[in-house]
C-alpha cells in the first residue's frame, strides 16, 4: 500500500498558544518534537497494516518542522511549499491507496480550539462551502477525493473529530484535546501517540467505506477581516463581492476552488 500523510501542528497534543507553533519562539521545540512523534506513530500503524511507501507533507507554516531522521526509512518527506493548489496535500494523486491527516484542527469560527482557523489565522474570518464552515480537513479531504483517495484517519481536537464524523462516520478519529476558551485539556502525549498508531493501523482495514462523494456544485464564501482584501479579491474571475468583507465564488470543478484559495487566501 501507498499512503499519504498530511501533518499540521495546531491539532497536536498539548499545543495551545501560537508561540508553540512558530519556529522563532522559545516554546516551539517540544511541540515540534511531539508533531514528529505523532507523525511517526501514524507511519508505524500504517506499516503494521501493510504500507510499503508513505509520503508525508509537512503542512504547517514554513513546511519545515518534522524531523525526518525520526521517521521510518520507507517514508519520503515533502518540505516547504511548491505552490500547487492542493496545498496541504500537494502532489496527491490516484496512485495512493489512502490518506491520513495528523495534527489537524477545528475551522475558523469554531470555539473548539484556541487556535481554530482555516488556512490563514489572521486575515480570514471564515470560509464556507455550500453554507458549511470549512476546515482545513474539509478543504483537503475534498482535494483527496477529487483524485479518488479516501481519508481514512484524522487526529486533532474534539471539535474536528465531530466534524469528520458528520462528513463520513467511517473515518477513524483520534481526539487528543479539548479547547475551552484560550485553554486546552489534553490527554497525555504518550497516550496520544499510542492511540494514533492503533487507529492508523485499524483504519486501513476499511478504506472503501471512508470515501467522500464530492458535491455537484461548490458555492464558496470567504469572509475577510479586512475589507481591502475583499475588494481586491472581488476582481478574481468568477468572484462576486456580497458585502464589505465577503465574497462568493461558484463552480462545479473543485480544482478551481483550490486554485482560487491558493491565490486569494493569504
Strand partners, 224: 124
Complete DSSP assignment for 82-103: ---TTGGGTT--TT-SEEEEEE
Could you give the 3-state DSSP secondary structure of residue 67? Answer: coil
The annotated binding site for Zn(2+) is made up of 8, 10, 60, 105, 136
Neighbours of 75 (CB within 10 A): 20
Complete DSSP assignment for 103-126: EE-PPTT-SSSTT--SS-TTTEEE
By residue count, the chain amounts to 266
CB 118 within 8 A of CB 139: yes
| Cα→Cα distances 27→107, 170, 171, 188, Å | 24, 36, 32, 18
**What is the phi/psi pair of residue 189, to 5°?**
-55, -40
Separation of alpha carbons 215 and 236, rounded Å: 23
Count helices and strands (H / E) in the chain: 6, 12
Given 17, 117, 140, 188, which residue is catalytic? Answer: 117
The annotated binding site is made up of 8, 10, 60, 105, 136
Separation of alpha carbons 198 and 12, rounded Å: 16
Q: Is 117 a catalytic residue?
A: yes
**Annotated catalytic sites, by residue?**
117
Amino acid at each position: 500500500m501507498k499512503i499519504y500523510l498530511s501533518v499540521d501542528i495546531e491539532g497536536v497534543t498539548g499545543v495551545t498558544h501560537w508561540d508553540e507553533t512558530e519556529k522563532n519562539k522559545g516554546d516551539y521545540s517540544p511541540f515540534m518534537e511531539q508533531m514528529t512523534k505523532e507523525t511517526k506513530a501514524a507511519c508505524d500503524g500504517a506499516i503494521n497494516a501493510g504500507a510499503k511507501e508513505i509520503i508525508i507533507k509537512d503542512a504547517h507554516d514554513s513546511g519545515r518542522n518534522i524531523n525526518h531522521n525520526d521517521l521510518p526509512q520507507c517514508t519520503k518527506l515533502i518540505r516547504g511549499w511548491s505552490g500547487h493548489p492542493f496545498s496541504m496535500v500537494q502532489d496527491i494523486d490516484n496512485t495512493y491507496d489512502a490518506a491520513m491527516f495528523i495534527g489537524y484542527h477545528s475551522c475558523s469560527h469554531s470555539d473548539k480550539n484556541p487556535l481554530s482557523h482555516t488556512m490563514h489565522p489572521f486575515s480570514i474570518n471564515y470560509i464556507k462551502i455550500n453554507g458549511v464552515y470549512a476546515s482545513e480537513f474539509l478543504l483537503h479531504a475534498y482535494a483527496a477525493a477529487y483524485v479518488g483517495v479516501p481519508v481514512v484517519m484524522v487526529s486533532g481536537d474534539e471539535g474536528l473529530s465531530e466534524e469528520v464524523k458528520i462528513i463520513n462516520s467511517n473515518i477513524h478519529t483520534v481526539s487528543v484535546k479539548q479547547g475551552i476558551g484560550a485553554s486546552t485539556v489534553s490527554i497525555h502525549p504518550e497516550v496520544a501517540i499510542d492511540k494514533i498508531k492503533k487507529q492508523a493501523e485499524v483504519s486501513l482495514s476499511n478504506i472503501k467505506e471512508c470515501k467522500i462523494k464530492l458535491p455537484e456544485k461548490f458555492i464558496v464564501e470567504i469572509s475577510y477581516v479586512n475589507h481591502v482584501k475583499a475588494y481586491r479579491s472581488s476582481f478574481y474571475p468568477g468572484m462576486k463581492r456580497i458585502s464589505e468583507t465577503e465574497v462568493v465564488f461558484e463552480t462545479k470543478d473543485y480544482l478551481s476552488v483550490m486554485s482560487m484559495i491558493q491565490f486569494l487566501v493569504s
